[in-house]
Amino acid sequence: MPRIAEARPGAEPSSPRQRARRQSILKVAADAAAVAGLERVQMQEVAKSAGVALGTLYRYFPSKTHLFTALMAEQIEEFAARVPERAAGTSPEDAVFETLRSATRNLLRRPALATAMIHSANTARASTVPDLARIDSGFLDLLLRAWEVEQPTEHHIARLRLLILLWYGVLQARLNERLSPQKAEGDLHTACHLLLAPGPDAG
């Protein structure tokens, strides 16, 4: 019978050794999900492959939902660190589109892992899975940088929030093969221009 996770956040590592252990767990889980998918990932096997006790794994990640939500937060932060500055002559909305297109292609390199992370993030509760906030803030900061908005208003945030929700839907449709790559990118491009283009009520 699967373990029923406690409704609590995972412990945060407080030393370099603990951080390395946590990173090892995340890497093993990512590789396992990329091959087998979320349902077939076994926490006991993740702990064994990462070289940690099962209790240690559950201390950091009380459930698979915690584990793969944390992994998505890590991947967004790593992706953000690699995104180049906006090319000269690129409109703000096109810069955001390019960022979303790149993020989509990056995730789709390992579709089973992308499915595991998105499913976990969608079923997690913010009160017990703090890494949801890392996902939201990390992605928002990434798109604000692409949009070159240094002092965002609530209206900027709301437009990007709607765009991010739409992006999740387009990504899911790609994973389900309901949209071709061309249609998915076309929809994203349209959404960026509709939501982000400057207008009389922009700001």
Residues in the chain: 203
Across the chain, mean pLDDT equals 91
Which position has the token pair 């559950």? 58
Least Cα distance to 94 among 174, 184, 190, 170 occurs for 190
6 pLDDT band (50/70/90 cuts)?
A: low
Q: What is the pLDDT of residues 171-188, one digit of tens each?
A: 999 999 999 999 999 999
Q: Which two tokens stand for residue 1?
A: 């019978």
Q: Mean pLDDT throughout 13-36?
A: 92
Residue 4 has pLDDT above 90, yes or no: no
CB 76 within 8 A of CB 119: no
Reduce the DSSP state of residue 31 to 3 states and report it.
helix
To 10 degrees, the CA torsion angle through 18, 2, 70, 45? 50
Residue 9 has pLDDT above 70, yes or no: yes
Q: What is the DSSP string of 76-98?
A: HHHHHHHPPPPPTT--HHHHHHH
7 pLDDT band (50/70/90 cuts)?
A: low
CB 62 within 8 A of CB 76: no
pTM for the complete prediction? Answer: 0.88
Residue 8 has pLDDT above 90, yes or no: no
Q: Which two tokens stand for residue 24?
A: 């090892």
CB 60 within 8 A of CB 22: yes
Q: What is the pLDDT of residues 111-158, one digit of tens each?
A: 999 999 999 999 999 999 999 999 999 999 999 999 999 999 999 999
Identify the sign of the CA torsion 104, 106, 111, 117: negative
Which position has the token pair 């079923």? 123
| Residue 44 buriedness (CB in 10 A; 0-12 / 13-18 / 19+) | exposed
Q: Mean pLDDT throughout 27-40?
A: 96
Which position has the token pair 């982000």? 196
Which position has the token pair 């951080």? 19
